[in-house]
Amino acid sequence: MEASELIVTPRGSVYHLDLRPEELAPIVILVGDPDRVALVSSRFDSVELKRQHREFITHTGYLSNRRISVLSTGIGTDNVDIVLNELDALVNIDLQRRQEQPQKHSLTLVRIGTSGSLQPDVAVDSVLVSAMAVGMDNLMNFYQFGNSDKERLVLNAFVQHMHVEYLHFLPYVASASDSLLQSLGYGLPRGLTLTCPGFYGPQGRSLRLPLALPQLLETASAFEHDHLRCTNFEMETAALYALSAALGHRAISFNAIVANRILRQFSDNPGKTVEQAIELVLQRLASLP
């Protein structure tokens, strides 16, 4: 791999994350907000490493004798593209020789993020797990990426429901890891998450600019296929799921619901909701066999 394609720093780290392979744990908690990294690692039993480059902050430590890293992605699927490719490089590429490792390693990637509900019964201050996610951002159209039969059926139904000519772009779909849904996502509501390339217009918000898709919320919230509904808007999950699946990693996304877009509600204490989601995820990670 040429130096322009895989950038390795003088200290032997990947370029954006500034991490060396030995500094990364096999379980990685992903948060959008850099300030949430310390919020998560403060609950570790010990922290062995703190690293920061740009918006990418990483803390690696131990929770109940389990080595875990927590890493901030920043906002959006463009950042997730950087993070996932460089995390994969850390475990599956020999950075000195710039060659793929003969034996591949799979990371466990757990997103904890905020989200807005698209259903009246998905309440503010609850936690929802993304069973599947539709990408409205075009990222995976730049990669060779396949879907299961179930995913193809969901995507076809979504495109027909939304009308692709109305959307003006080609969505993609990807799923959470089945094993992580069972081991970490049990007992929580699940749904189809819509991953958007922005916070305002792409999620149906208008301040001063008129919307090209004024019925986006109503149309998306009305979608249902095989008991799967569009439950929430956010900005990272579809890319996380698609890149993880393509690269051979396991991923799951926990959504702290801080807004209900249909009922026009916003949490009185979104920070508390995020902390409750963090506590829930860490308890379940600590109890993994």
Please write the tens of the pLDDT for every residue from 139-148. Answer: 999 999 999 9
Asked if the model's pLDDT at residue 90 lies above 80, the reply is: yes
Banded pLDDT at 163 (limits 50, 70, 90):
confident
Tell me how far apart the alpha carbons of residues 8 and 26 are, in angstroms, rounded to a whole number. Answer: 21
Neighbours of 101 (CB within 10 A): 12
Instruction: Specify the pLDDT at position 283.
Output: 97
Asked if the model's pLDDT at residue 164 lies above 90, the reply is: no
Tell me how far apart the alpha carbons of residues 103 and 101 are, in angstroms, rounded to a whole number. Answer: 5
For the residues 74-99, what does the mean pLDDT come to?
97
Instruction: Specify the pLDDT at position 62.
Output: 98
Q: Share the mean pLDDT of the chain.
A: 96
Tell me how far apart the alpha carbons of residues 13 and 218 are, in angstroms, rounded to a whole number. Answer: 46
The identity of residue 249, as a single letter, is H
Asked if the model's pLDDT at residue 166 lies above 90, the reply is: no
Q: What percent of the chain has pLDDT over 90?
A: 95
Asked if the model's pLDDT at residue 80 lies above 90, the reply is: yes
Banded pLDDT at 289 (limits 50, 70, 90):
confident
Phi-psi region of 9 (alpha: psi -120 to 50; beta: other; left: phi over 0): beta
The identity of residue 70, as a single letter, is V
Q: Which residue has the tokens 């950075």?
A: 95
For the residues 69-91, what does the mean pLDDT come to?
98
Instruction: Specify the pLDDT at position 205.
Output: 96
Tokens of 181: 């849904």
Comparing 13-17, 154-158, 165-169, 238-242, which segment has the lowest mean pLDDT? 165-169
Instruction: Specify the pLDDT at position 169.
Output: 78
How far CA 261 is from CA of 113, 205, 212, 258, 275, in Å, comes to 17, 10, 18, 10, 22
For the residues 19-28, what does the mean pLDDT come to?
98
The CATH number of the domain covering residues in 21-286: 3.40.50.1580
Banded pLDDT at 165 (limits 50, 70, 90):
low
Instruction: Specify the pLDDT at position 12.
Output: 97
Instruction: Specify the pLDDT at position 266.
Output: 98
Q: Are 41 and 61 in contact (CB under 8 A)?
A: yes
